[in-house]
Structure 1
Amino acid sequence: MNPVVSIIIPAYNSGTYIKRCVESVLAQTFKSIEIIIIDDGSEKSSNEIYKCVAQWDERIFLYEQNNLGAAVARNSGLVRAKGEYVVFLDSDDYWNDDRFLEDAINQIKKTNCDIMLFEFIRNHNQKFEKTQKQLDVEKIRGKMDANKLNYIMANVYNIISPCSKIIKRELMVENDIYFPEGRLHEDIDWAMSLMSVCGTVDILNKAPYIRTIRENSASKKRTYKDCDDLLWVLEKWTARNDIDQNIKMAFYGQLCFQLFITMGMCDSIADPKQRSQLLKRIKQYYWLRKYPNNKKTRTAAALTRVFPFFICCKIFGAYINR
C-alpha cells in the first residue's frame, strides 16, 4: 500500500542537521509516510551520516546524485514519490509539532483541498521568531479565484517556499509543475506555477516548521546569476498569456517585490559592465512598481516616486544586505 504522505528532503553537506530533521518526521503521530532523502553530491562525511540515518526505518529511502542543485534534487524526489500528498523539508530544518501531519491530513480530508498552507518559525542563533502576522483565514480557504490568490500572495509570508505547504501530488504531476533546473531562485517560478493551477486551498492555523538561518548561507551572496535568474522570472511571467488575466494580475504584486529585490541585488554587482547590462534590463520592468500589494512593497514603491532609479537601487541594496 502506498503511503499517504511523501516527505522529500534534499540534502547537501547537512550531516550536522539531518538527524534532527529526520527524527522530527519519524516522531509524527501520523505514520503513513515515506521519507525520501536526495543526497545532492555531499562530501563523504555527510553521505555516511545519511546512510546511517536511512537505516533507522524502512520508510526512509536514500538516493544519491551529483551536485546538481536543490531544484534537481526536489524534482528527483517528486518523480520517486508515491504518496497522495507531498511535503518538502529542507535538511537543516525540522518540524516542532509531533501532531503536525495528523492534524493537517485530518483537515485535508474534510476540505479535499489541493494545497494546505502552514506557517514557519525562524531560528536564528537559537532565537525563535514567528514569521507570519495574523491572517484572515476565511479569505484563504476554499475555491481559488483571483481575489483569494491576490490575498495569499500579498499576506502569506512564506508563500514562495516549497516547504510551507502540503500539496496533492497529482496536482503537480498532471500539470507538469517541476522546479526549473539550472536556475537560482527557482522556487519563485515554481510557487507561482503551482498556485496558478490550484483549485482549492486551505491553511493550518499553526507554525510547525522551524526554519534554521545559517550565517554561511549561499543566499547571502549576490551574483550576476542571482539578478539574471530573477529577471528571467519577471520576463517569463509578464509575458505569459496562457493563464487567466485576473490570475496573472494577482501575481504582479509578487513580481513587484522581486523587481525591488533585483534592483537591490544589482547594486552589489562589482563588474560595471555586468551591472550596466542588468540595470538596462531591469528598467524594462520598472512599470511593475505600480503594483505593490502589501505594506513592504508599498513603502518601496513610494520611494521610487521620490528618488531616482539609481538611488533606489542603492536603498534597496542596503536593505537586503542589512
Structure 2
Amino acid sequence: MKNITFSLIIPVYNAEIFLKSTVNTILNQTYKNIEVILVNDGSQDQSLKIARQMAEKDARVFVVEQKNAGAAVARNNGLALAKGDYILFPDSDDYFTTLKGLEEIATLLDESHADVLFFDCIEVTEKEVQHNFDSNFRRENVFSRSANKGLENMIKANKLTRSAWTKVVNRDFLLQNCIKFPEVSQTEDTGFTADLIFYAKTLDWYEKKFYAYVKHDESITAKRLSTQVVKDSEKVISYAMARVKDMEDLKQKNVYLSYMAYPYMVLLGHAKELAKRDKETSKQVIKNLKEYSHLLNYDWTPRVSMIRKFYSIFGYYLTVVILGKAMDRIYKRKGI
C-alpha cells in the first residue's frame, strides 16, 4: 500500500476564495504519498499567488501556468506532468469529506489494482450541509463483478456520475489507451467517463461519500448554458456515439448506451431551452441529435425511465419540448 502514489490535478481559475481550503483537505490527508498539481488557467484574481505560496510551504504542491483555455486543457496539461500511480481530478472549490480517504482508497487499490475506482459524493449549499458520509452502495456490487456488471449496478443505482472528481484512475491505464479530456467547454467529463467505461477492465468502489461538491453562485452549473457549450456538448455526444457501431460485446454496448442515455437526455433539454437565446442553433442541434434518439430507450438510469415513457407515447420532438420546459423550470427554481 505504501508504494501507491496519487496525483491530484486541479484546474484553477479565479478560485481565491476556495483554493486554500480545498488544497488543505488534500495535504492534510493521513496518506502522504501524493502530489498536487495546480494548473492556473489564466486567473485574474489572487489564485496564482495563493498557489505559489502553498507550493513554497509544501514540496508536494506544484504550480503550472497556462493561458485561459478551460478545465479540460488544464487537466490534460496536468496529466502530462503527473507521476502518480493513480490520478484524481478535484475541482478548486470543492473538498474531501474525510482525512482518511486516500489512505483507505490506497488499501483498496492495493488489493484490486483497478483501472478505475469510483466513490460517492455529497452536494453542499449555503442552506444545506450533509453530515452522513457513508455511501448506501456496497463495494461488492462492483469489485466482485465483471466490469460490465459492476457498471450496470452503478447505473441502475444512480451512482455512475459523469463527473471526473468521483473517480480514481490508474495512470498507466490512461496512457496505454490514450485517454484525455476532450478539449471543450464544461462537458469534458461526459466524454472522459465514456472513455473510461469503454476501456476499463477492472473496477473498484470506495464506500464513502468522499467528495463534497460545493454549489455556489459562481459555480459553472449556476448559469444557463451558452450556445458554445451546447455545441460542444453535441460534439462530445457525437464522438462518444461514433464508436458504438464497432462494439461487438453486447453487454458492453448496453452498458455504454445506458450511460450515454442520461447526458443525451440532459442535452436535449438544454438544446431546447437555448431557443430562448439562440433559436437557430437550438433547432439545428435538436435536429442533429435525433440520430441518437434510440438512447431514450436505455432506461437503466432512474431519471431516464420516466422520459422513456414520454418518448414512447409522444415521439422525439414532443419529448424534446417536455425536456426543454423541465430544464427551464429547473433554472427558474434556482433563480437563474
Q: Counterpart of 2:271?
A: 266
Conservation of the 8 A alpha-carbon contact between 1:143 and 1:199: no
Question: SS of 1:176's equivalent?
Answer: coil
Q: Counterpart of 2:256?
A: 251
Question: SS of 1:216's equivalent?
Answer: coil
* 1:21 counterpart letter in structure 2: T
Question: SS of 2:209's equivalent?
Answer: coil
Change in 2 beyond 3 A, CA 1:254/1:225:
farther
* Alignment RMSD (CA, Å): 2.3
CA distance in 2, matches of 1:72, 1:155: 31
Conservation of the 8 A alpha-carbon contact between 1:6 and 1:33: yes
Q: 2:288 aligns with which of 258, 272, 281?
A: 281
Q: Counterpart of 1:124?
A: 125
Aligned length: 322
TM-score (norm 2): 0.88
* 2:47 counterpart letter in structure 1: S
Q: Counterpart of 2:58?
A: 57
Question: SS of 2:168's equivalent?
Answer: strand
Q: List aligned pairs for 1:206-221, cutoff 5 A.
A: 206-219=208-221, 220-221=223-224
Q: Counterpart of 2:95?
A: 94
Change in 2 beyond 3 A, CA 1:272/1:166:
closer
Conservation of the 8 A alpha-carbon contact between 1:17 and 1:93: yes
Conservation of the 8 A alpha-carbon contact between 1:2 and 1:82: no
1:152 aligns with 2:163: no
1:57-81 residue CA offsets vs partner (Å, 9 max, x unmatched): 0111111100011011111111111
Q: 2:205 aligns with which of 179, 203, 206?
A: 203
Cα deviation, residue 126, structure 1: 4.9
Cα deviation, residue 308, structure 1: 5.1
Percent of matched pairs sharing the same residue: 27
Question: SS of 1:109's equivalent?
Answer: helix
Conservation of the 8 A alpha-carbon contact between 1:131 and 1:157: no
Q: List aligned pairs for 1:18-37, cutoff 5 A.
A: 18-37=19-38
Q: Counterpart of 1:179?
A: 181
* 1:314 counterpart letter in structure 2: V
Conservation of the 8 A alpha-carbon contact between 2:85 and 2:171: yes
Question: SS of 2:207's equivalent?
Answer: coil
Change in 2 beyond 3 A, CA 1:279/1:304:
same
* 2:249 counterpart letter in structure 1: Q
Change in 2 beyond 3 A, CA 1:305/1:132:
farther
TM-score (norm 1): 0.92
* 2:231 counterpart letter in structure 1: D
Conservation of the 8 A alpha-carbon contact between 1:154 and 1:293: yes
Q: Counterpart of 1:223?
A: 226
Change in 2 beyond 3 A, CA 1:223/1:154:
farther
Mean alpha-carbon deviation: is it higher for 266-275 or for 92-101? 266-275
Question: SS of 2:64's equivalent?
Answer: strand
Identify unmatched segments of 5+ residues in structure 1.
none
